[in-house]
Each structure stands twice: as C-alpha cells, then as structure tokens.
Structure 1
Amino acid sequence: MLILKTILGNNDSLHVVIDSLPTGDIPWYDLLSSFLTPTIAIITTYIAIQQYKVNKQRLRHELYTKRLAIYKCLQSHLRSIISKANTSLEQNSFFTNETAEALFLFGRTVQQNVEEINKKSIDLYVLGVKLEVTDLSKEKRDELVQQKKKLLLWFSDQVDVSKKVFAGEMSFLK
C-alpha cells in the first residue's frame, strides 16, 4: 500500500480510494456476496429480454391467426360464389361481418381487395335478382347473363389474386 502511495504522489482522490481498500484477506463469502447484486441484476435483465421476445412472438402468432381467419373466410366466400354461380344476402352479410376486422389487421391493399370483393358480391346478387324476373326481353336477359359471366370470371381470378395480396401481409417476419 505504501508503494502505491509514494508512486502516485499526493493525488487526494486516488489516496482515498487506495486507503479504503481492505488491508487483509477478504473472506470468500464476503467476496461472493459483493457480486450477488450485479449477478441478480444481470439475470433479471436476461429474463426480461427473454420475456419480451416470447411476448413479441406470441403477438405475431395471434395476429397471424386473426389474419388467417379473414383469409380463409374470403377464400371460402369466393369458392362458394364460383361453385354456385350466385350469392345470397345472408352469405354477403356473413362475409362482411367476418372480414370487418381487416381494416385493423391489414394494410391498405388487403382492405381494398376485401372491399372490392364485397361490392362485387353485392353486384352479383343484384344481377341474380334481376335475372329471376320473368318478363325480361331476350336482349336484356342476354346482357345480364354476360354481366354475370364477366363477374363470375372476375371472382374466379380473385382466388389467385387474393392469395398474392394476402401473402405479403401474412408473414411471421414482419
């Protein structure tokens, strides 16, 4: 201790630090207890970081599950329209209710896709109602049939289009 004091000179701050060091042997349990608080702090920080990562992953999974439900509803709606070549008010209402959360779960492109499918579903329903009228002229009926055919082809294309639109939003990596 005297060697350090004479080498360092009269520096008061170093003098206080050096004089406060214990002069004898430190028992091992005192040494371990001095490291206990920093060790607990490090372990607690590690646990907090791990919990943050787990919670972030769980949130991603829950978001994916909700998004997948909307995607499945949309695909089911499209397949039903294609297979029946028509839709009903109940089916359109169910689709609208089940996809209402899309506004909060997806970006603008998915929202627009869902809204467009909903509007075209209503158009298809109206065309179906118009075609049920028995006193239509042949020309008017042919025109409505062509419109319905065009809509059904559009719905058929939407199966693949919606897959691509949703694919960008369904990733776990986001």
Structure 2
Amino acid sequence: MKFKLFFFLAFNIANLVYAESNDTISAKNNSQSIQDFVESTKRSVDLDPVKVELKREKNWIDNFSAFLTPLIALITIYIAGKQYLTQRYRVRLDLFEKRMKIIEDVRIILTDIDKNYSGDSEKVNLELFRIAYRHSKYLFSNDIQNYLTQLDQKIGELEEKEQQLKTADKSNKHTLETEKDDIIVWLREKRSTHEINFEEFMTLNKI
C-alpha cells in the first residue's frame, strides 16, 4: 500500500515537471519566434525601395552640404577680394583725377602768363593757380610742393612788378620791364618742363 502511494506521488510529480518543462520550452520558442519576426520585419523595412532611396538621397545631401560649406567660404573670400581691389582702384583713380586737375590748372596759368602777361595781365586767372597750390600739399610730395612754392613766389613777384609799372616814372620803368621779362622767361622755362616734374605721380599702377 505504501509502495503504491509512493509510486502515485512520484508519477504525478514527474508529470508536473514534464509539463512545466514543455511550457518553458514553448515560451522560449515563442520568444525566439517573436525576435525572428521583429528582425525579419526590420530587414524587410530596410530593404524597402522607398526607404533605401530616401536614405541614399539623405547621404547625397549630407555629402553635398559638406562640400558646399567650404565652397561658399571660398566664394565669399573671392567676392570680398574683388570688392577690395575695385574700391582701391576707385581711390587711385580719384587721386589721379585730382592730381591731373592741379597739373592742368598750373599748366594753363603758365601758358596764359607767357601769352598775355606782356600785354593784358587781367586775362590771367591767377586765382586758379592759388587754388591749385593750396590743394597740392594734400596730393603731392614735398618736392612738388617746393616746385609749386617757387612758382607762387615768382608769380607774386610778377604781380608786384606789374603794379609798380603802373605808377613808375620813366627812369624806373625800363628796369621794371626788364625784371618783369626775366620772370616771364623763368616761368616759360618751367612751363616747358612742367609735366616732367609730375611724371612719377601720374602712373596709375604706382599711385
């Protein structure tokens, strides 16, 4: 009797262990099946043509963006350089034009003195020279300033002789005329070499 009871209990316990083992194996199989399904789904999604194309386009955009950034920087530097050179050229051109005006104004005065001072001094616009002389110190070197200062002094002497001749008597008139003519001759010589003095300042690429 005791032996049957023991056998019965052992049999039931074995059945329970077997059932539990089967449940565990079944759960593991179900879990593995779910994982396999998820992995399969992921692979199918990754292989989806639309997603593959989108990913390819994203990679292309990323690569293009990486190339575009330094390209934009180079273009910006190039434009800034061109603007700098253009602005510098405009400054040089403006300086050239201002210098040329002074050179031409002084040449006109020297020509008018040579042609008219022996006859009608009122035809000579000396104020034009005075303006050019004042402006020259901002545009030329000391050498040119000294040259124009010499011209200013001689023109001042010429004006003085002209005023003295208006009130001079016959004994002094000849002396004043001679001194006046000497000044005109000196100014005429300066007119012949006038533009040579400014050559180094009128080369545009050296301004």
In the superposition, the TM-score normalised over structure 2's length comes to: 0.66
Matching residue of 2:49:
none
Tell me the equivalent position of 1:4. Answer: none
Q: Distance in 2 between matches of 1:161 and 1:109?
A: 15
- Alignment pair present for 1:80 and 2:132: no
Determine the structure 2 residue equivalent to 1:110: 144
Give the AA of the match of 2:96: Y
- Which protein has greater RCO, CA pairs closer than 8 Å, 6+ apart? 1
Which blocks of at least 5 consecutive residues in structure 1 are unaligned?
Answer: 1-23
**Which protein has the larger Cα radius of gyration, Structure 1 or Structure 2?**
2
- 2:60 counterpart of 1:46: no
Counterpart position of 1:133: 167
1:161 and 1:110 map into 2 onto residues whose CA distance is 13
Report what 2:156 is aligned to: 122
Task: Tell me, in whole angstroms, the C-alpha distance in 2 between the residues paired with 1:134 and 1:123.
Answer: 16
When structure 1 is superposed on structure 2, of 57-66 and 113-122 the one drifting more is 113-122
Which segment is superposed worse, 76-85 or 95-104? 95-104
Moved over 4 A (4+): none
Q: 1:124 touches 1:151 (CA, 8 Å); kept in 2? A: yes
Aligned Cα RMSD in Å?
2.2
Select between 78-87 and 68-77 the one with higher mean Cα deviation. 78-87
One of 134, 140, 145 as aligned partner of 2:177: 145
Q: Percent identity?
A: 26
The answer as to whether partners of 1:113 and 1:162 remain within 8 angstroms in 2 is no
Structure 2, unaligned runs of 5 or more: 1-54
Count of aligned positions: 149
